[in-house]
Chain A
Amino acid sequence: MRQLIVRRLLQTIPLLFFVSIACFALVKLAPGDPVLSFVTPNMHPEDIERIRHHLGLDQPAYMQYLLWLKEMFRGNLGYSLVNHQPVAHQIIERIPATAGLMGSALLLAVLIAIPLGLAAGSQRNRWADKLINLISYIGISIPIFWLAIMLIYLFAIQLHWLPVMGMRTIGKESAMDVIKHGILPCSVLAFSFLSTYVRYIRSGTIGQLKEEYVQIQYAFGSSKRIVLFRHVMKHVLLPIITLLGMSMAELVTGAIVTETVFSWPGIGSLGMTAVKGLDYPVIMGITLLSALLLIIGNLLADILYGFADPRIKTTR
C-alpha cells in the first residue's frame, strides 16, 4: 500500500512538468499582450518597452519558461503581472472561500443523490423514478450561469431573502452572514453535481437489484429496505468514490462560472480575472494546483476503493 502511494506520487512529478509546459505554451499562443493593460494614452513607447523589460516579457518564450521553472523549484510561483502580488499568496488566501463552497456543495449533492438514486433505481419506470429522472436531466442540461442568474433574480432581487452576491456584507463579521451568502452558489453547484450522481446511483441500483444475491436475500426474509440499504448501497457508492476523487481538483480550483456569477472571492474567480488579463503566472499556478489535486484525488479514490470493495487489492 505504502509502495503504491509513493510510486503514484513520484509519477506526478513528470506529469506536472508536462502540464506546466502545455499550459505555458497555450497562454503564450493566445492572442493579446499583458503589457497593454498598463498602457495609458499619454505613455511613450519607451515607457511601454520599459514595463515590458521590467516584467521580463521582452525575453524569448523559452527563457521566460525556464525562469519560471527555476523560481518554481525554489518554491516561488512568481508574481501576478497585474497586481504584482505573489501568486502562491493569492491562491492560498482564496482557498478557504472555494473549499468551503465546493465542500458543502459536494456534501449536499452526495447526501441528496444517494436516497434519490436508490429510490429511482428501485422504483424503476414508476412515477418516482420518472420524476427523479426528469429532475436530473434538467440539472445536467441547464447551463449553470443561467440557473444562477434566475435564482439571484428570484431569491435576491424579487424576494429579498438572500444577498445578491459576494461572500460577506461589508462591515459584518458573522458566520451566519457567510452562510447566507453561500446558500445560492452552493445550491446551484450541488444541483449540477447531484444530477450526475443520481444517474450513476440509479443505474448502479438497477444493475445490482438484478444480481442473484439480491434474490437470495429476499429468500432469507430480507425486506426491500434492508436489501437496498444494507446490500445494494455499498456497491452503488463505488462509482461515487471515483467521482468525488475527481472532484478534489474542483474542490480547490472551484467552479469558475459559479464563482464569477456570484462574485464569490474564490480561486475560480481569481482564475477568470487572470485569464482575462493574460496574467500567466496566476494561470500557471492555478493549473498546476488543479493538476496536482486531480492526481491526489484519484489516488485517494483508488485507496478508498480498496476499503470499500474487498475484492480489489491495492497492492501490486
Chain B
Amino acid sequence: MTRRLLTVEDLNVSFETRDGENQAVRGVSLHIDQGETLGIVGESGSGKSVTAKSIMGLIAPPGRMKSGRIEFAGTDLAGLEEKDWRRIRGNRIAMVFQDPMTSLNPVKTIGDHLTEVIRRHRGLGKAEARQEAVRLLREVGITEPERRLRQYPHEFSGGMRQRVMIAMALSCQPELLIADEPTTALDVTIQAQILDLLKQLKDQSNLSVVLITHDLGVVAQVCSRVAVMYGGMVMEEGTVEEIFYRPKHPYTQGLLRSVPQRKSGYRERLVPIEGSPPDLIDPPAGCPFRERCPHAMAKCAQLPPRFEIGPGHRAMCWLNDESVKEELAARPEPQGGAANEGR
C-alpha cells in the first residue's frame, strides 16, 4: 500500500575547506514513503540541510558527495546527468528554503518567478502559465493574485514571500517537497499560518514532505515520522509518538528536555544540553555525542550500530545493547534509558 518514494543509503558528503575536510554528513540513511511527512531535527551544523541539498543534487564545490545511494521513485539519482537533474528539480522534487527574504530575485516580479517554473516544467504558454500562477497564488492564500503577480518581492512581507515560494514549489505537483526550515525566519504567528498552509496543501494531495527544522514543536504539529540528526549522523529515527514518548538516545532525550512544556501553573526549568557540537573537520571516532552525553562510557569510543527498538524505531546508542543493559542493571544505581528522568 505505502510505496517507498525516496531511499537514502549511507550518504557521505564532505566540504573541502582550508582547514581540512569537513565531513558534514557521515553515513546518513533515510527513507520516505508516499504521503508521509518526515521531520529531520537537529541543531545547526548537524547535517540536515546538507542532506536535503544532496537529495536535490545541489551539492556544489567545494562540497562533494563522496558515497551513498539516493533512490527516488525507482531511479538512482546519484549517477544522474545534469540535464536529467534539471527535469527533476522543481518538477518532481521541490524545495522551500529557510529565508524567504533572499529566496526571490529582487529584480523579477512574482509573476516572472512563478511562470518561469511553470513554463519550464509543464510546457504551458505564456497566458496559460499566468492563469496557473493566479490559481496557485490564490491556493496559498494570497488575495488579489492578478495584481500581486505584477509586484516585486520587496513589496511582499516575509510570510507572503514564503507563500509565494510554496506556490512555486507546488506549481508542478511534485511528488516530494523538501522544506528546509521554512518557518525559522518568520514571526511566530506567521509560522503557525505557514505550517497550517503546508499541512492543508499536503492533505489535499498525496505529497510526501521532508520537513527540516530544529523546532520539535513544529515536528509534533505536522510530522508522522522523525529522524534526529547530530554531528552528520542520524542518531534516532521513529514515529513521532515513539520519539516523543519513548526516546532511546540520550541526545533525543536532551533535546526533548530543552523544549518548554505548556503546563498551567507549573514553572519548570529548561535543561540545556551542555557543551557544543563536535568539530566535523577530523571528527573523533565513535559516537559524536559522547563528549556531551551524561551516560558516556568506554564503549562509546566505538561507533554504535543502529539498534532496532521497535518497528521503524532505531537508535544509535550503546545503551540499547543487551550486554550494556545487563551491565547497567547490575550496578547499584541504574542509569539511562527513560526519558522522564532528570527533573
Contact = CB atoms under 8 A, between A and B. Distances in A.
Nearest to A311: B154
Contacts of A53: none
B103 A213 contact: yes
A234 interface: yes
A207 to B, nearest CB: 13
B121 A231 contact: no
A59 interface: no
A217 interface: yes
Contacts of A218: 58, 89
Interface in A44-97: none
Nearest to A208: B105
A221 B107 contact: no
B154 A310 contact: yes
Contacts of B165: 216
B152 A212 contact: no
B116 interface: yes
A231 B104 CA distance: 10
Contacts of B88: 221
Looking at chain A's contact residues, the main secondary structure is helix
Interface string A275-291: 00000000000000000
Interface string A209-238: 001110111111111000000110011000
Contacts, number: 67
B86 interface: yes
A218 B89 CA distance: 8
A220 B105 contact: no
Contacts of B117: 220-221
A74 B55 CA distance: 75
Given A221-B121, A223-B86, A212 B97 contact: yes
A213 B153 CA distance: 11
A220 B97 contact: no
B107 A219 contact: no
Chain B interface residue count: which class?
20 to 34
A310 B107 contact: yes
B116 A230 contact: yes
A219 B56 contact: yes
B86 A221 contact: yes
B260 interface: no
Contact of A311 (B99, B103, B106, B109): B106
Contact of A213 (B82, B104, B121, B154): B104
Interface in B146-182: 152, 154, 165, 168
A111 interface: no
Interface string A282-316: 00000000000000000000000000111100000
A289 B325 CA distance: 91
A83 B84 CA distance: 73
Given A212-B102, A216-B103, A231-B105, A221 B152 contact: no
Looking at chain B's contact residues, the main secondary structure is mixed
Contact of B107 (A212, A215, A216, A308): A308
Contacts of B58: 215, 218-219
A140 B150 CA distance: 42
A221 B171 CA distance: 13
B90 A220 contact: yes
Contacts of A231: 105, 108
A309 B154 CA distance: 11
Given A218-B58, A231-B108, A212 B89 contact: no
Contact of B94 (A212, A220, A223, A234): A220
With most chain B CB atoms within 10 A of its CB, the pick from A213, A216, A309 is: A216
A309 B86 contact: no
Contacts of A222: 86, 90, 116, 120
Contacts of B94: 219-220
A221 B99 CA distance: 19
A157 to B, nearest CB: 49
B95 A310 contact: no
A229 to B, nearest CB: 12
A277 to B, nearest CB: 51
B107 A235 contact: yes
Contact of B89 (A213, A220, A234): A220
With most chain A CB atoms within 10 A of its CB, the pick from B82, B102, B165 is: B102
B152 A311 contact: yes
Nearest to B105: A213
Given A216-B97, A221-B117, A221-B120, A234 B86 contact: no
Nearest to B99: A212
Nearest to B169: A220
Interface string B72-92: 000000000010001111110
A302 B117 CA distance: 32
Contacts of B105: 213, 217, 231
Contacts of B86: 221-223
7 contacts: A211-B102, A213-B102, A213-B103, A219-B95, A220-B116, A221-B91, A311-B106
Interface of B: 56, 58, 82, 86-91, 94-95, 97, 99, 102-109, 116-117, 120-121, 152, 154, 165, 168
Given A212-B99, A219-B90, A311-B154, 16 more contacts: A213-B105, A215-B97, A217-B105, A218-B58, A219-B56, A220-B168, A221-B120, A222-B86, A222-B120, A231-B108, A234-B107, A308-B107, A309-B107, A310-B106, A310-B107, A310-B109
- Which 6 A-B residue pairings sit nearest by Cβ, starting from the closest? A220-B90, A212-B102, A221-B90, A221-B89, A310-B152, A213-B105
